[in-house]
Amino acid sequence: MAAPLVYVDTSEVREGAAESIRPAIEELVAFLEANEPDLLGYGVYLSDDGTRMTVVHVHTDSASLEHHLEVGGPAFRPFVDLITLRSIDLYGEPSETAVKQLLEKARMLGTGEVTVHPPAGGFERFG
């Protein structure tokens, strides 16, 4: 069985986007929940002052992440004017395709970089 992948990204919310970001998040979350049944978990977090957004999601495997990036791609586009993506950290062993998709997302949404953290040990109880 493939190990799950944990995705964490951090973005700056652009000046003047504070009122638009929450409705955009709600729309994205509803879309992903309806269209990605294999996604184990998805959360969006805003800093108290509304200037930083962090997104965390957990995938069953690399195919789930690839599907997320393919299906979710159009749904991420409204965020181009709302955020500047600073970093994507992926924990696990993604496919080359998933890494390429992450790099494309990083280019579309900001100047962020993608860092893959391969496992060094541990266990999971998702199954």
**Model confidence over 15-61: pLDDT tens digits?**
999 899 999 999 999 999 999 998 999 999 999 999 999 999 999 99
Structure tokens at 10: 């951090």
Residue owning tokens 């199954």: 127
Residue owning tokens 């953290």: 117
Domain ranges of the chain: 5-117
pLDDT at 1 over 80: no
pLDDT at 97 over 70: yes
pLDDT at 127 over 80: no
pTM score, two decimals? Answer: 0.94
**CATH architecture type of domain 5-117:** 2-Layer Sandwich (3.30)
Residue closest to 8 by CA, chosen among 122, 92, 119, 96: 92
How high is the mean pLDDT of the chain? 94
Do 52 and 11 form a contact (C-beta atoms < 8 A)? yes
> How much is the CA Rg of the chain, to the nearest whole Å?
14
Q: How far is CA 72 from CA 30, 80, 101, 121, 125, in A?
A: 11, 14, 11, 30, 26
